[in-house]
Structures are given as C-alpha cells and as structure tokens.
C-alpha cells in the first residue's frame, strides 16, 4: 500500500463513522478500544462476515457491499431491541483500492445510523470480505430473544419479505433498472422498530435473514412451540405474487434471505399499528411451522439458505 497502512487506516477509519456516544471512552488508535457501559444496561454483541462471491455477487460494487454488511450486522441488534453504541470493522481486501471502497461503504452506513466506529483490523487477503462486530445496549433483562414465544401468542411481521431475492434475481439477469433492484442494493435494519417493540415489553423477536420458514423454525425450536403462518397475510403478498407469479413469490418469501424484516410474537391482547407490523399467524403447541396459503395447507421443500448444504 503506497500510502502506508497506518496513514490509510487513520484517513479511512478514524472518526469516520457516526458520532461517539458515552459508551466509548477511547476509540481508534491503540491496541484496543476502551468502553464504559451504562449502569443497569446489558450489552448485546453480534458479529457477521460478508464475503465477495458468497454474500454479494462478484460484479456488485464494493462500497455498497460493505454498506449492506454493516446494515445486516445492525439488524441483529434490532432483532434483540438494542440501541447500537459502536461497531468494529475488519476489512480484508485484495488491494488498497478495495480497502478504500469497502471502508467508504461501511462508514457511510455507520454515519447514516449515527453509530461510532470504535476499531477494527485491516488486512490483505485473496478475497474481498468484511467482518462487522456490533454492540448495542438495553436495560438489563429486556432483550427480545428467540426463546420468548408462548403458545397462544400472535405472530407479527415488521417489514417486507421476498423483495431482496427478487432484486438479486434481477441483478443476475442484468435487469439493473428492475422494480426490485433497490431492495437488493440497499438494506434497512429495523432499529427504531426493534427498540419500540422491546419498550412495549415484547419478549420474542428474530430478524428474518434466511427466509421466513427457517427463521420461524428457529423461534419454534428455541421456544419449544409450533406456529401456523398465513402466507397471504405477509406484507405486499398480493403485489409480490402479481409481479412474480405465486410460486416464485412463495419461494422468495419462505426461502429468500436478506430482507431483514422483524418476526416477533406478542400476547393476543396486544395490538400494533399497520405501519409497524402485520399479523401473519399464531403460536400453538403442536411443533413445527405449518403454512397456509389462501386457507389451504402448503408444503415447501428445502428450508432456506444453508452455507454448507
């Protein structure tokens, strides 16, 4: 790297994220960052890797890929209802141009959500990749978790499903001005909604990253319950099935990943405005996830994206 590694790191990363909150007392510039957690709060920490050709297509721009990687990591905080306090960013890049693009995209996302970049690592690599570690705070004991659902709870969905997969297909088909492309290129973590749900006392939530079926099963497994979901109640179902055909719409919603909607359960007496979430089913004792489409049972084969299958 002609500029020199340390100059490059300082220029690209020091102070380049969102504003510092009280949580970080010392950020980029030493062997580690120093933090002061807020009293009576717990810290939620999550880490995610995104790799070129695995998580984004080879011909997708690196800055947008890194932006999406940060957003998808922040979505894990949204799912648990935490308020982001800082992020650590590992950049693995084939050359300094790639470091620059990945850094620009990641820091742009952090500024958009006003989250501080507290540190990270920068390394040369055979493949471009970023790894994002996020930390968020919430009042002790209030985190929404996958094991919080109860028989009789109503299942709600906040955000869209199936749009990312439709956009990804358009990208592969080179329809760069397609209706769904924007949903593939940009990703919106539902941070405000996650915090609002946690403040309402919601106990169970997950962000749908691997398709509705797989992520609903994660809740069922952790909570030892089953679910019945009505696919035609998923937001924009009629629009999706008009545009894509029923079978492709079904696949996208159930198995397409990366929409990052929030799937949560709430006691039957609770109500939420349509702008926040829609009811898509209920929890029951019988294990497994049953799917209904226009009142009829449907059975779909494979479950969702699995890196090693």
Binding region for Mg ion (CB under 5 A): 121
30 binds ligand ADP (CB under 6 A): yes
Binding segment (CB under 6 A) for ligand ADP, from list 24-32, 34-42, 65-73, 147-155: 24-32
Residue 121 vs 147, nearer CB to ligand ADP: 121
Selected binder of ligand ADP within 80, 89, 132, 249 (CB under 6 A): 89
120 binds, among Mg ion, ligand ADP, none (CB under 5 to 8 A by kind): ligand ADP
Burial of 172 (0-12, 13-18, 19+ CB in 10 A): exposed
Nearer CB in complex with ligand ADP: 86/197:
86
Name which of 31 and 275 has its Cβ closer to ligand ADP. 31
Among ligand ADP, Mg ion, none, residue 31 binds (CB under 5-8 Å by kind): ligand ADP
Q: Between 33 and 255, whose beta carbon lies closer to Mg ion?
A: 33
CB atoms within 10 A of CB 181: 17
The site partner of 91 among ligand ADP, Mg ion, none (C-beta below 5 to 8 Å per kind) is ligand ADP
Minimum Å gap between C-beta 9 and Mg ion is 9
In angstroms, give the least distance from the CB of 28 to ligand ADP: 4
Nearest to 72 by CA among 99, 51, 92, 97: 51
Q: Nearer to Mg ion by C-beta: 72 or 122? A: 122
Nearer to ligand ADP, 101 or 168 (CB): 101
> Taking the complex as a whole, how short is the minimal distance between the CB of residue 102 and ligand ADP, in angstroms?
8
Only segment of 70-78, 114-122, 276-284, 285-293 that touches ligand ADP (CB under 6 A): 114-122
299 binds, among ligand ADP, Mg ion, none (CB under 5 to 8 A by kind): none
Q: Measure CA of the first residue to CA of the last residue in the chain; give whole Å.
A: 38
For residue 34, give every residue at least 6 positions away whose Cβ sits within 8 Å of its Cβ, in sequence order, or none.
24, 25, 26
Query: Judged by CB under 6 A, how many residues of this single chain contact ligand ADP?
Result: 13
Determine, following the binding rule CB under 6 A, whether residue 264 of this chain makes contact with ligand ADP: no
Residue 206 interacting entry, from ligand ADP, Mg ion, none, C-beta within 5 to 8 Å by type: none
User: Does the protein bind ligand ADP through residue 119 (CB under 6 A)?
Assistant: yes
| Long-range contacts of the stretch 170-175 (C-beta < 8 A, 24+) | 171/57, 171/60, 172/57
Q: Does residue 13 belong to the site contacting ligand ADP (CB under 6 A)?
A: yes
Quick one: which segment of 29-37, 71-79, 213-221, 301-309 binds ligand ADP (CB under 6 A)?
29-37
Give residues in contact with ligand ADP (CB under 6 A): 9, 13, 28-31, 89, 91, 117, 119-122
């Amino acid at each position: 790297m002609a500029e020199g590694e340390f100059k490059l790191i300082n220029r690209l990363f020091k102070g380049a994220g969102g504003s510092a909150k009280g949580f970080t007392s010392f950020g980029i510039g030493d062997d580690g960052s120093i933090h002061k957690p807020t009293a009576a709060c717990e810290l939620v920490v999550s880490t995610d890797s995104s790799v070129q050709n695995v998580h984004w297509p080879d011909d997708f721009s690196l800055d947008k890929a890194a932006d999406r990687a940060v957003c998808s990591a922040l979505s894990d905080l949204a799912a648990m209802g935490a308020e982001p306090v800082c992020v650590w960013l590992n950049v693995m890049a084939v050359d300094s141009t790639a470091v620059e693009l990945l850094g620009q995209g990641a820091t742009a996302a952090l500024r958009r959500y006003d989250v501080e970049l507290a540190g990270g690592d920068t390394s040369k690599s055979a493949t471009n990749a970023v790894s994002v570690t996020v930390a968020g705070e919430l009042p002790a004991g209030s985190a929404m978790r996958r094991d919080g659902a109860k028989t009789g709870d109503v299942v709600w969905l906040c955000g869209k499903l199936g749009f990312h997969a439709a956009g990804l297909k358009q990208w592969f088909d080179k329809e760069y001005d397609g209706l769904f492309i924007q949903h593939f290129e940009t990703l919106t973590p539902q941070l405000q909604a996650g915090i609002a749900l946690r403040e309402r006392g919601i106990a169970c939530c997950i962000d749908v990253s691997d398709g509705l079926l797989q992520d609903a099963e994660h809740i069922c497994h952790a909570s030892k319950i089953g679910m019945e979901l009505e696919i035609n109640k998923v937001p924009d179902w009629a629009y999706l099935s008009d545009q894509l055909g029923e079978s492709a719409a079904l696949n996208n919603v159930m198995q397409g990943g990366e929409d990052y909607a929030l799937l949560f359960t709430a006691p039957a007496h609770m109500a939420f405005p349509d702008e926040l979430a829609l009811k898509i089913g209920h929890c029951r004792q019988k294990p497994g996830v049953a799917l209904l489409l226009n009142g009829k049972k449907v059975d779909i084969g494979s479950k969702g994206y699995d890196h090693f299958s």
